Amino acid sequence: MQQTFPFSVDSERRKATPLPKASVAHRIGGTYYSRNKEAIDLRRRARIASNREKERARCAEYYKKNKERVLGYKRKHRQKYRDVYNARSRARRAKETKPTEYYLKKNYGLTLSQYREMRDAQDGLCAICGKADTSGKNLAVDHCHKTGRVRKLLCWVCNTTIGRYEDDPAILDKAAKYLRDHEQPNTEVIKKTQV
């Protein structure tokens, strides 16, 4: 049975007019898009690349106007594929506990066995504070940002602290002096009162 139009202005005439059958091209080679997918994708990518700022602005404007709608789509998609997202997250977290050979080689020129030798030589402890990394991750490879030379392995706290002080020993000395100057031995701990 052929489909008919569900409604129209001239409903009596339209009810008698069946919808057209699929075209011969559609039956033989699929839709226009499926037959020309590569060329269409290339044109789309070229258009976006040549108008990158305009495209970003267009996307941002659409998101601003349709924020709830977009977030609704994202929520539905995430709910539908929750198991897939959770599996990916678990796999990613499992990988994060050990540095990959590729990452070490690309960023520091180290192999995984060299990293393990350094870690074992430090007994798995940070070279500065002497503590094991409590963040659940491996010790970070500390390196000089000017020369790229690998120094030692540090915990996350020490590594980010050095990075924030821009690897400048003078600033670190000032910070240490500041802490020593403001250290007050034998003082009582002030308890915070709950508001």
pLDDT exceeds 70 at position 194: no
Candidate from 62-71, 81-90, 119-128, 185-194 with smallest mean pLDDT = 185-194
Place of tokens 């915070």: 192
Q: What pTM was computed for the model?
A: 0.45
Full residue range of the structural domain in which residue 43 is found: 38-80
Residue 23 within any structural domain of the chain: no
C-alpha–C-alpha distance, residues 66 and 60, integer Å: 10
C-alpha–C-alpha distance, residues 166 and 144, integer Å: 10
Q: Which is higher by pLDDT, 71 or 91?
A: 71
pLDDT digits (tens, 9 = 90+) for 2-56: 444 444 444 455 455 554 555 544 455 567 877 888 898 899 888 888 888 888 8
pLDDT exceeds 80 at position 68: yes
Residue 164 within any structural domain of the chain: yes
Does residue 60 sit in the same domain as residue 104?
no
Candidate from 3-7, 87-91, 151-155, 164-168 with smallest mean pLDDT = 3-7
Count of domains forming the chain: 2
| pLDDT given at position 96 | 59
Please answer whether residues 154 and 128 qualify as being in contact, where contact means their C-beta atoms are separated by less than 8 angstroms.
yes
Residue 127 within any structural domain of the chain: yes
| pLDDT given at position 4 | 45
Residue 27 within any structural domain of the chain: no
C-alpha–C-alpha distance, residues 129 and 139, integer Å: 12
Residue 112 within any structural domain of the chain: yes
Does residue 75 sit in the same domain as residue 132?
no
